[in-house]
Amino acid sequence: MSQPQKTSGWSVSMEPLIVGLTVLSLASPLAAADEAGKTPLSIGTIVNGNLQFSGTASGKFTLELSVSEDSGKLTFKYSYGLVRRTAAGQTFRPVQRTETFRGKSGTLVIRSAGRQFPVQVVNPNDPDGDSEVWTGTWSIVSGTGRYAGLKGGGGVVGIIQYPGSGVFSLDYVYRYEGLVTGS
């Protein structure tokens, strides 16, 4: 049994530290094995326009899949649920979306669901406090070209911000990240 080491007035036993490091070193290969065969997918989107009333929108995207990149046009359909509250009392709207990414390497269709939280802070760029934060999950519905046969999903975060241009228009910026496998 090792003797406790004195450091800065504290008595520290080295055994729990060694046991903890051993557990972590054994768990790391297990976690890596769970991720074997999965490829990271990251998509960034930018949409400018009024999405609140139409139920559809379009914009641009960039996509990174392993070491390859793609870009193109994004279109999506969405629907909002009734305003709800979290257990902590924050208001949000549930949102469901179907996004279609058409790029040079093919088409990828995903479905996302999440919560859109109003920030409601008035500032010079957002005099009405219209900014919102979106967080949720996504999964692949279908794909063509390079994206044919992909399966998987992940998380999505985004912001919706009033650009302060005087016209009722919003900027939507989202980031999708997750892991996918081939067919």
130-165, pLDDT tens digit by residue? 788 999 999 999 999 999 999 999 999 998 876 655
The string of pLDDT tens digits covering residues 44-62 is: 988 876 555 567 778 888 9
Q: Is 90 exceeded by the pLDDT of residue 73?
A: yes
Mean pLDDT for the chain? Answer: 78
* The model's pTM: 0.73
DSSP string, 72-83: EEEEEEEEE---
Q: What percent of the chain is predicted at pLDDT more than 70?
A: 67
Token pair 């999950």: residue: 137
Structural domains in the chain, CATH included, are 5-34 (no CATH), 39-181 (2.40.350)
Residue 9 scores a pLDDT above 50: no
pLDDT tens-digit series, residues 103-132: 999 999 999 999 999 887 766 666 666 788
- pLDDT band per the 50, 70, 90 thresholds, residue 70: very high
| pLDDT of 33 | 34
The structure tokens 């919003």 sit at 170
